[in-house]
Amino acid sequence: MEKQKEIQQKFAVLKKHLNEKTRRLWCGTEALAIGSGGITVVSKATNISHPTIRRGIKEINKPETIEVNRVRKEGGGRKTLEKNDKTLQTDIEKLIEPATIGDPESPLRWIFKSAQRIADELNKKKHRSSPRSVSRILHDMDFSLQANRKT
């Protein structure tokens, strides 16, 4: 119990300075220093899962598992919506076609439908999307979201 409080105090000081990788490595180091039952003590003290601490120990024992300048392995993290949903971009194109303004030959086109409205219509078609992701996809497709303006 005393060891757990000591680790809690250390972690409280360090956690704002640690990224995902350094947090794993620090927890793994603490667990190795404790020895038997160390993973459980560190997990309770830091509220970090057992698999994460085990991964930190594994990275300490085999330092070549992740590149020095990376936090995660190549390809780690959540995949983009377009990769998970192949029809999303074509459905967005179908939805915005009547609301598109600008010369099709021009590198920049405008759309006057809001990202929120497009996301709502996509969600009705069983796509998982948010206004932020719709804005990102439209930007990647060289569209600009323009607000209505009185002249």
pLDDT tens, residue by residue, 15-57: 899 888 889 999 999 999 999 999 999 999 999 999 999 999 9
**Amino acid, single-letter form, for residue 98:** P
Same domain assignment for residues 56 and 89: no
**What pLDDT digit, counting tens, does each position of 96-107 carry?**
776 666 666 666
Clarify whether residues 57 and 96 are in a common domain. Answer: no
**Residue 120 sits in which domain range?**
81-145
Distances (CA, A) of 144 to 7, 26, 139, 149: 50, 45, 6, 14
Residues 9 and 49 in one domain: yes
Residue 8 to residue 62: CA distance in whole angstroms: 26
Q: Mutual orientation of helices 38-46 and 2-14 as an angle, nearest 10°?
A: 50
Task: Read off the pLDDT of residues 100-144 as tens digits, 9 standing for 90 and up.
Answer: 666 666 666 667 778 888 888 888 888 888 888 888 888 887 776
8 and 60 in a single domain? The answer is: yes
Position 28 in a domain: yes
pTM of the entire predicted model: 0.49
User: What is the number of domains present in the chain?
Assistant: 2
36/82: higher pLDDT: 36
Domain's final residue, options 12, 39, 65: 65
Q: Is the sign of the CA dihedral 82, 137, 100, 148 positive or negative?
A: positive
Note whether 127 and 103 are same-domain residues. yes
